[in-house]
Amino acid sequence: MSLPAKATLTCACLFTALTVYAVHFQQKQERETQYQGVLKDDIRRAEKMRQRKDDFEESKRKRALYESVQRVEKNTSDA
């Protein structure tokens, strides 16, 4: 095999190996980025649920306060 043919084959193999490595590296980075998004979603969801629970507790507290001050009638009429 001639020297230019060997050089071409070597360069082609090297280019292919680097391309495969780069693609795998990029996929690994993208996978990690996507996983970070999942973690952020979990944190956001937990915060939203905590906020809803706090709002519900505040609503229960206000209702108890209003019911202790005002007379509340239950409406059982069939409309």
Tens of pLDDT along 10-61? 999 999 999 999 999 999 999 999 999 999 999 999 999 999 999 999 999 9
pLDDT grade for 71, boundaries at 50, 70 and 90: confident
Distance (Å) of CA 32 to CA 25, 26, 65: 11, 10, 50
Q: What is the pLDDT of residue 32?
A: 95
State the chain's maximal CA–CA distance in angstroms: 102
Q: What is the pLDDT of residue 64?
A: 92
pTM of the complete model:
0.54
Which DSSP category does 47 fall into? H
pLDDT at 78 over 70: no
Rounded to an integer, what distance in angstroms lies between the CA atom of residue 16 and that of residue 4?
18
Residue count of the chain: 79
